[in-house]
Chain A
Amino acid sequence: MFGYHYRLERKAIGLVLAIIGVASIGGIVEIAPLFTIHQTVEEAPDMRVYTPLELAGRNIYIREGCYACHSQMIRTLRDEVERYGPYSLAVESKYDHPMLWGSKRTGPDLARLGEKYSDEWHVVHLKNPRDVVPESVMPAYAWLARNELRTSDLGAHLRAQRAVGVPYTDAMIANAATDAYGQAAPDSSAAEGVVERYGKATTVRAFDGAPERLTEMDALVAYLQILGRLTDAAHKPVTAAKE
């Protein structure tokens, strides 16, 4: 064995090929089957896609690096299920490009945050977390309510999402900017189209309390309120869920 190696280390290309070969095996065995074994991701016929406003909110969540302190993955442990809710299923992040499971809980898990608190609570909390949770160490995000949400390129965002496998229709892509506006303006004519395209379960509300303006606060709160609510699969009996 050592004699063989003694010859191998005299050949640069041989060493290169050996390194690539030896290093590739683990990834191939562990990752490739995840795409082919169909039990890896559960079936959930009621799974819906993010609306343009929720997707924009998700992009703000990504932009601000919220994943550094908040996980979105409830583990199959008793205390986690009792603290946060039913454990997370793979199907729940099926349309998450990228996933935001996170690795650290400086703040609590957010996988089941949707509709746990009111929109008003979220707005106050995001403007200054210490107004509602005095011990909090979360940064204040007051400027979100001042920033107009950029909607002009939302169609392109949906198109890119479709390219990586999220089933957005042509109508969704064509109306992305209007739908983003409509979802946060319940009394406007644009509101109906959102429900029509994304289903009756869609939440249409003035998330930041000001329907006349579409802000980054609207988008982020809309996203936080949909967390854990894209499908009911996790709330069904265990037999329907895992494997």
Chain B
Amino acid sequence: MVDLPLQVLVQNAALLLAVAVVFDAVSLRVDFERTRLQQAVAGLLLGVIGISLMLTPWQFAPGIFFDTRTVLLNIVGLFFGAIPTVAALAVMITWRAVQGGPAALTGIIGMLVAAGIGLWWRRRQRDNLENLSFRDLYLFGLGAHAVTLVQVTSLMYLTVPAAAAAVLGRYWFPLLAIYPVATALLGVLLVSRLRARRLADTNARLQRQVEAQLEEVRASRARIVEAGDRERRRVERDLHDGAQQRLVALSLELRLAQNALGADADPAVRTRLEHAADEAQAALADLRDLALGIHPLILTDSGLEAAVESLADRSPVDVTIDIGPERYAPNVEGAAYFVIAEALTNVAKYAKAKTATVRAMARENVLRIEVADDGIGGADLASGTGLRGLVDRLAVLDGTLTIESPVGGGTRLSAQIPCVRAVSPPAPAGSRPTSAGLRQEVHGT
């Protein structure tokens, strides 16, 4: 055991590297070195590694032994900073003091020097740690252990002069041959760890940014659709309360003017008034078509079932409706209505169908809509901008749209919209003792 210091010290260095690799794998996951307490805990663990090195030294004589703890302390000082270094030193110095022996003081001072060199270089390399190369780290290790050699030599001559020459004669070569390499290897390990950590931090930051941006995009898309819906309702109402009412008033004025003309009036004036009234009438018809396409009054007033019946009334295809009188949030009703309206339009335009079925039913807070026909099939979501728009519209509500349309096998359009069922059935202000019965009869088909 006394012989072959080179072999023993290589083994000791290998032990250091092996433990460091394990430590690295574990601490990367636990993510040490965040708070002061965590830094101190990391330091204590590093100190324990130091003890494990001191348990397998090259022993020259009882109380005089050598191991790679200075390599560990160089690196701890350089990469971990003050708090872990002090904690590790406390553990290792305590251990060395307990072991005692003639070289105890030399060993303890050697540890302080090694840690000090590491910390000193850390100050100089603060922002450059992750760029250190193997060569940089080797030279660092070489320099640090040259200092250690000088320090050990002088202290040995002071404390154990009898053994000093013999010890140092066998120690200097392994010290300068093995320790700088071990320092460089351990350093490279930590540099790669720093880089991995920096990369992970960057990734996490980017991911948070992307998620935040995605959330913002979703929110803004919802706001845009919401604003569009609100705007449609406003335009429809403005049309009604403004232009349409004024045109009716204008027609009335024209009629009253005609009435006021009397029997002996100029027939040309009468004709002019007639034409003006006809123009007002035509304008009203135009506005009516416009308003109908903007937002259906019946949807707001009577809900999805009645609004779909209105669509069915206008459809050339025989439409069977299976929708309850339940009401949903306005945006859900709006989306459901436009899905069904677009689907029925497509049925009428392209499907060559005789009959269609519209179903809508809420189960487990999802409104499931299905529009099926017995037409020629062959439709797909990519074919029409109308369907594309519906997908976008549903996506805002986290809804989905699917289409099954085998050629010759009819088309089945399904939409699912998350919803919370609102009041059901609609309960308008004021008592309507007969209306429930009326509705039942009307819908009792």
A binds B: no
B residues within 8 Å of A by Cβ? none
A residues within 8 Å of B by Cβ? none
